[in-house]
Copies of this chain bind each other. A is one copy, B any other.
């Protein structure tokens, strides 16, 4: 007989993530410093955008002991301040010091997805420095609330050390000050990349960042155009499971199944509901509360088999759009050529998403080689690139030879995925799962911008030939003219200038010469879809389609 040697215990959510902080990206002092900064900045941007406020975000990282000569890793004070909505003082302690408590648990596009980034930053600070977090917030500009708090990790609840209220200066917003162990030496590059890329897809934000040496970085607002605030949405039928349906039925106020479907699902009207319930062989007039367990399972099964529900619409999403994306890329990358492709809305498992892709080529900022900048709901994703669906598309699914792009060409591909639910594979929000729908849309968008680049490069090639010809004419014609004049003993040389002009016209050089001149300084060119297809590209496009068909 064996006696049980097994003991059981329960741990709190804080305790779970305290023990497994690698899962949330807080794996070492370098990555933790980066993660803490990004999580707080993302909360700040969300807090501004939700209310349509143009964001002002100020970030400062200071050594805790500025005079101390101690080397990394060491304690840093990270302070992030915004002009967002502020947080109701009733909720502030829990929002910051309680895992699984937050405002992000809904179907709405947001940077935060798991509702725990800020809390993880505070938790990491506490377990490495034992210093309380300081939160200052105002929702009305009249009263400013300051909290000093620790987390009771075992109980998953805030320990409020102090709560003071002073008069506000009229402005709303929140500031968070965390003291944490960091390794700035190893994190500085990622943090710099993070801010630069954040500025790229949030050009409507003013961001300042002061590094531990006191060096300031300014990312100025490049446009006042803000994407419309994302809206909360109802679930799409294809995203529903038995548990969700059971909850719906239990809480339903609607008296019939048909009304329940119309009231609670995204894009389900009376006619669709009727049609579906016929398909599912359920009486539309039936009382939702009368369904037994078996019937609920059958209902959900039928929902997933019914293919006449309208696809989720993306009106609840807030993609960047051409103007903002263009402004961001121009500001940060100053390319010679810029192509943008916005895909129509699509959906996976009932969650709507939109893909936006930009391609930047040449200019003074980009280095040789192919570079991928990944974004999801307007946050840059910097780690674990090779695990991401966008990397897979670029490196495994695009046939680069098709686009005749020179090797080592200076190219940046910017991908942006917007969704009410970004399919992150980890709580640390670093890479997206290769859902087939996402993969397909990314592939289509990347192909389109590459086609545009191919067109640009081929135009650029013929322009350069024209330019070279003109140079030759320009060099030799005057000499020939002078010889002719001398030979003919004429008073004036022949009007060779007109000749050059004619040559130009015959090759449409008047226009191209202007463009060629422009090419000498890096300048941005965007192409509208109607202009962009040339014959050779169409052939190439047909090839791609065949390729797709064969694969």
Contacts and interface: CB of A to CB of B under 8 A. Distances in A.
Given A22-B423, A100-B10, A100-B12, A4 B86 contact: yes
Nearest to A132: B293
Nearest to A428: B425
Contacts of A141: 1
A85 B153 contact: no
B8 A95 contact: yes
Most buried by B among A8, A85, A100, A105: A8
Interface string A57-88: 00000000000000000010000000001111
Interface stretch (A198-206, A238-246, A361-369, A482-490): A238-246
A88 B88 CA distance: 45
Nearest to A153: B243
A426 B22 CA distance: 8
A189 interface: no
A91 B8 contact: yes
Contacts of A512: none
B426 A13 contact: no
Contacts of A115: 11
Nearest to A426: B426
Interface in A126-149: 126-131, 139-141
A126 B8 contact: no
B241 A4 contact: no
Interface residues of A, number: 70
Contacts of A1: 140-141, 172
A296 interface: yes
Contact of A241 (B5, B87, B127, B427): B127
A260 B242 CA distance: 52
A297 B129 contact: yes
Interface in A427-468: 427, 433
A265 interface: no
Interface in A77-116: 85-88, 91, 94-95, 98, 100-103, 105, 114-115
A228 interface: no
A23 interface: yes
A373 interface: no
B88 A4 contact: yes
A488 B414 CA distance: 91
A162 to B, nearest CB: 15
A271 interface: no
A297 B126 CA distance: 10
Contact of A433 (B27, B86, B105): B27
Interface string A134-176: 0000011100000000000110000000000000000010000
Given A6-B85, A128-B242, 14 more contacts: A4-B87, A5-B51, A9-B102, A10-B100, A11-B115, A12-B100, A13-B16, A22-B424, A75-B297, A127-B244, A129-B242, A130-B243, A130-B297, A154-B247
Across the A-B interface, the 5 shortest Cβ-Cβ residue pairs: A127-B243, A10-B101, A8-B91, A130-B242, A127-B241
13 contacts: A4-B139, A5-B85, A6-B87, A6-B88, A8-B94, A9-B102, A10-B94, A13-B13, A20-B114, A23-B426, A126-B243, A128-B241, A130-B296
Interface of A: 1-2, 4-13, 15-16, 18-20, 22-23, 27, 47, 50-51, 53, 75, 85-88, 91, 94-95, 98, 100-103, 105, 114-115, 126-131, 139-141, 153-154, 172, 241-244, 246-247, 293, 296-297, 384, 386-387, 423-427, 433
